[in-house]
């Protein structure tokens, strides 16, 4: 099935497709916007939850750090240390007064502490505020997270009090004897701080200010210890994997000192409810834009596509047999003015079309024949095919007579002639440079190594295609006109650079150079439109460079060619600009 490109469709089809694609694009944008908006809202909700939990963690850390400081001060108070190691009942009664005073003074600024208990190594304990019952104490000691005998750091435990079903948390710190001279690891007991959750709960309540979000705290066993939902306190949290599920987005933060975990959740339904107003507004705008695009399409179809189709249909039906027909003008729109101009052009075309067509054909054929003739003439001047067989004969005789120099010259010449008569107009730059090297082998023998060849070619250029025999004649010209008349050694330098897919060559010599007047004449000859003047015997100088210049322009275009620069007694430089062919 033949494919039809968009620009070949009729105008009314193009307008219909463009409007349909615009409407489709609007709905796609709406859908992408919806997805991005939902993702953004979720991300914002997660960021809010994370930020809030960080604030909660910071406030709870401050509160628990205060309790740790209290436990530390009490644990290493001289009165508490003496109280734990004293066995005399009378002395302990006396010490109890001092210890109670210290405890009351330190805890007076912290209303969360409801009791402080000192426990000896034999697990006998003393409650100084009478709020820690025996059953409660036993439950603490039997708790799997109760600090072991080897523990050195304080630990936090949480569970409901058996008596009043209220929730408390406990800080248990091992106490080691600090008296000078006592062993470093001599543990003498524990201090237990029983604390209310009121302060921590107020932190949670203060954070739960956004509708659709909630925060709660679980302990090491995943038991919910603090939550605004009272019914959930004491139950175990089942989504500890913290993946988004059940219509909620979950985040969590771990608190190192208490081993608690803060859980935050945001309702996905709440996020969707917030965005519905934006989605509705944007959808309404898309529908309005769609109706406007359809209306524009109908107007364009009536006032543009139909008149244009009529003009196109008329012009498509024009031919030599009915060129006298004219387009009917029905109004004063821009399309009608175009139709009027078409009729005027048809009036003129009808008078001159046959004559112009004949003239164009004759001119085209004439130009084509002329260029083909010039190209064949130029190539025939530099393709010495007839000498190849003669050189092969000379080489055979030289080998038979053991004349090494003639063998080398004849081999090099045969290689050059074989290259020049080979089919095809393009060769690689590497092949062209190889022929130049062969030519310089001949020059080296002829002039006993007096002249040298230097090459500076970019590696990327070597496999590019150039016109055959385009560089060698210039090198030969440099040797013949520049170096031969010079006394002493000489050199030819070929530099090649690749820039923006254009190959630029600089072929320079340090020979005699060209006088200014002769240089100007040579430059003028390069601009001659044909070879008729150069074929005259009086003006044969420069025909080689002209041939090269003309070949470049005929093959590559008028913007390419060669340029000559020279200074007398210093040398000559030829600059070539060629296209880069793969």
Is residue 6 over pLDDT 70? no
Q: Over 29-48, what HEC string results?
A: HHHHHHHHHHHHHHHHHHHH
As a whole number of Å, the CA-based R_g of the chain is: 51
Rounded distance between C-alpha atoms, residue 93 and residue 184, angstroms: 28
Give 8's DSSP letter. Answer: G
pLDDT digit string, tens, across residues 184-223:
578 888 888 888 877 777 777 776 656 667 788 887 778 7
- pLDDT for res 354: 67
26 contact partners, CB below 8 Å, separation of at least 6 = 286, 289, 290
- pLDDT for res 369: 42
Give 88's DSSP letter. Answer: -
Helix, strand or coil, per DSSP, at residue 175: strand
- What token pair was written down for 559? 């913007």
- pLDDT for res 529: 67
pLDDT digit string, tens, across residues 480-527:
899 988 888 999 999 999 988 899 999 999 999 999 999 999 988 888
Can you say whether the dihedral through the CA atoms of 354, 356, 358, 360 is positive or negative?
A: negative
- pLDDT for res 442: 85
pLDDT digit string, tens, across residues 413-453:
777 777 777 777 889 999 999 989 988 888 888 888 889 99
301 touches 14 (CB < 8 A)? no
More confident residue, 174 or 122: 174
Q: Give percent of the chain above pLDDT 70.
A: 74
Domains along the chain with CATH numbers: 1-310 (3.30.450.20), 424-579 (3.30.565.10)
- pLDDT for res 503: 93
DSSP conformation letters of 549-567? HHHHHHHH-TT-EEEEEEE
| Mean residue pLDDT across the chain | 76
CB environment 319-337: b (16+ within 10 A), e (fewer): eeeeeeeebeeeeeeebbe
Rounded distance between C-alpha atoms, residue 464 and residue 505, angstroms: 13
Rounded distance between C-alpha atoms, residue 542 and residue 201, angstroms: 104
- pLDDT for res 396: 62
Cα–Cα–Cα angle for 472, 476, 482, rounded to 5 degrees: 140
- pLDDT for res 169: 81
- pLDDT for res 372: 55
Rounded distance between C-alpha atoms, residue 454 and residue 473, angstroms: 16
Give 329's DSSP letter. Answer: P
Cβ burial of 173 (10 Å; 0-12, 13-18, 19+) is buried
- Span of 241-250, 283-292, 400-409 with lowest mean pLDDT: 241-250
Helix, strand or coil, per DSSP, at residue 579: strand
pLDDT digit string, tens, across residues 497-506:
998 889 999 9
Which segment, 10-14, 161-165, 546-550, is predicted with the most confidence on average? 546-550
DSSP conformation letters of 457-503? E-GGGTTSEEETTSSHHHHHHIIIIIITTSSS-EEEEEEEEEETTEE
Is residue 290 over pLDDT 70? yes
pLDDT digit string, tens, across residues 457-482:
999 999 999 988 899 999 999 998 99
- pLDDT for res 455: 93
- pLDDT for res 43: 79
Is residue 162 over pLDDT 60? no
Mean pLDDT on 241-263: 71
Rounded distance between C-alpha atoms, residue 39 and residue 105, angstroms: 54
Is residue 22 over pLDDT 70? yes
- pLDDT for res 539: 44
Q: How many CB atoms lie within 10 A of CB 579?
A: 17
- What token pair was written down for 196? 């209310």
Cβ burial of 535 (10 Å; 0-12, 13-18, 19+) is exposed
Longest CA–CA separation in the chain, Å: 145
Mean pLDDT on 226-249: 64
pLDDT digit string, tens, across residues 31-85:
787 777 777 777 777 777 788 888 888 888 888 888 888 888 888 888 888 888 8
Spell out the alpha helix ranges (H) of 76-197.
78-85, 89-107, 134-142
- pLDDT for res 381: 46
- What token pair was written down for 274? 């917030």
Q: Give the end-to-end CA distance of the chain in Å, rounded to a whole number.
A: 34
Mean pLDDT on 344-350: 73
Rounded distance between C-alpha atoms, residue 173 and residue 190, angstroms: 6
> What's CA 541's distance to the chain center, in Å?
59
Is residue 325 over pLDDT 60? yes
Rounded distance between C-alpha atoms, residue 341 and residue 265, angstroms: 74
Q: Over 193-256, what HEC string results?
A: EEEECHHHHHHHHHHCCCCCEEEEEECCCCEEEEECCHHHCCCECCCCCCCCECCEEEEEEEEC
Rounded distance between C-alpha atoms, residue 279 and residue 275, angstroms: 6
Rounded distance between C-alpha atoms, residue 42 and residue 213, angstroms: 12
DSSP conformation letters of 368-380? HHHHHHHHHHHHH
pLDDT digit string, tens, across residues 313-324:
767 767 766 666
Q: Give percent of the chain above pLDDT 90.
A: 12
- pLDDT for res 7: 66
């Amino acid at each position: 099935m033949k494919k039809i490109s968009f620009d070949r469709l009729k105008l009314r089809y193009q307008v219909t497709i463009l409007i349909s694609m615009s409407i489709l694009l609007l709905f796609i944008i709406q859908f992408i916007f919806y997805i991005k908006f939902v993702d953004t809202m979720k991300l914002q909700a997660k960021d809010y939850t994370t930020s809030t939990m960080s604030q909660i963690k910071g406030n709870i850390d401050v509160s628990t750090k205060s309790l740790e400081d209290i436990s530390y001060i009490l644990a290493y108070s001289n009165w508490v240390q003496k109280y734990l190691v004293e066995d005399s009942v009378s002395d302990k009664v006396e010490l109890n007064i001092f210890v109670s005073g210290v405890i009351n003074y330190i805890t007076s600024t912290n209303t969360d502490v409801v009791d402080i208990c000192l426990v000896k190594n034999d697990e006998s304990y003393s409650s100084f505020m009478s709020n820690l019952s025996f059953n409660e104490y036993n439950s603490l000691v039997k708790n799997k997270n109760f600090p072991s005998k080897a523990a050195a750091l304080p630990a936090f435990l949480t569970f409901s009090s058996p008596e009043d079903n209220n929730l408390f948390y406990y800080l248990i710190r091992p106490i080691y004897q600090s008296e000078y001279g006592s062993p470093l690891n001599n543990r003498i007991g524990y201090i237990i701080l029983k604390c209310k959750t009121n302060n921590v709960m107020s932190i949670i309540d203060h954070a739960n200010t956004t509708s659709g979000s909630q925060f709660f705290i679980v302990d090491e066993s995943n038991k919910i210890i603090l939550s605004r939902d009272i019914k959930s306190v004491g139950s175990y949290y089942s989504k500890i994997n913290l993946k988004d599920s059940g219509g909620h987005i979950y985040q969590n933060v771990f608190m190192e000192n208490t081993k608690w975990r803060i859980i935050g959740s945001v309702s996905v339904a709440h996020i969707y409810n917030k965005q519905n107003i934006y989605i509705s507004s944007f959808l309404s705008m898309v529908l309005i834009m769609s109706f406007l695009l359809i209306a524009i399409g109908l107007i364009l179809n009536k006032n543009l596509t139909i008149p244009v189709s009529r003009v196109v249909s008329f012009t498509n039906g024009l031919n030599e047999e009915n060129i006298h027909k004219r387009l009917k003008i029905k109004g004063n729109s821009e399309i009608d003015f175009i139709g009027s101009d078409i009729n005027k052009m048809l009036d003129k075309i009808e008078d001159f079309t046959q004559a112009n067509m004949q003239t164009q054909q004759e001119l085209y054929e004439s130009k084509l024949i002329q260029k083909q003739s010039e190209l064949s003439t130029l190539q025939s001047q530099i393709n010495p095919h007839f000498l190849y067989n003669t050189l092969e004969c000379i080489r055979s005789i030289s080998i038979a007579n053991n004349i090494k120099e003639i063998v080398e010259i004849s081999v090099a010449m045969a290689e050059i002639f074989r290259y020049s008569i080979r089919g095809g107009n393009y060769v690689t730059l590497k092949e062209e440079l190889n022929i130049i090297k062969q030519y310089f082998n001949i020059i080296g023998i002829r002039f006993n190594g007096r002249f040298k060849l230097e090459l500076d070619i970019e590696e990327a250029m070597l496999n590019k295609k150039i016109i055959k025999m385009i560089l060698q004649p210039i090198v030969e010209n440099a040797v013949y006109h520049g170096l031969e008349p010079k006394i002493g050694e000489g050199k030819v330098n070929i530099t090649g650079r690749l820039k923006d897919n254009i190959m630029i060559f600089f072929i320079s010599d340090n020979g005699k150079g060209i006088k200014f007047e002769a240089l100007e004449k040579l430059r003028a000859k390069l601009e001659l439109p044909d070879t008729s003047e150069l074929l005259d015997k009086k003006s044969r100088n420069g025909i080689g460079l002209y041939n090269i210049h003309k070949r470049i322009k005929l093959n590559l275009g008028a913007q390419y060619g060669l340029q000559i620069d020279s200074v007398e007694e210093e040398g000559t430089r030829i600059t070539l600009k060629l296209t880069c062919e793969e």
